[in-house]
Amino acid sequence: MPIYTVTITKQFPAWDEKEGIVYRDIAANTKRDAIKIVRDHARWDGHTGPGMGRCYYSAVKASGIAG
């Protein structure tokens, strides 16, 4: 299973979120699956939710394969 790095960029970022919020080492079959996993993680971590503005997700395949 490939490993992805997913970055969340917010429409209205706080001062410490200007570079985006990065989730590394996400094991998923596709970019779409990696983003789905990170959406759940970000919601539970408190990074996203109602009233926080739009969030943009980008997934990049990292070198390596989970096994």
Structural domain boundaries in the chain: 2-65
In sequence order, what E strands does the chain have?
2-10, 21-27, 55-65
8/63 Cα distance (integer angstroms): 20
Q: Supply the pLDDT for residue 48.
A: 86
Q: What is the pLDDT of residue 50?
A: 83
Mention every residue, 6+ apart, whose C-beta is less than 8 A from residue 54.
10, 11
pTM: 0.85
List, for residues 19-64, the tens digit of each pLDDT value. Answer: 999 999 999 999 999 999 999 999 998 888 888 889 999 999 987 6
Query: Residue 6 pLDDT > 70, yes or no?
Result: yes
Q: What is the sign, positive or negative, of the torsion defined by CA atoms of 4, 32, 14, 42?
A: negative
Q: How far apart are CA 46 and CA 1, in angstroms?
A: 27
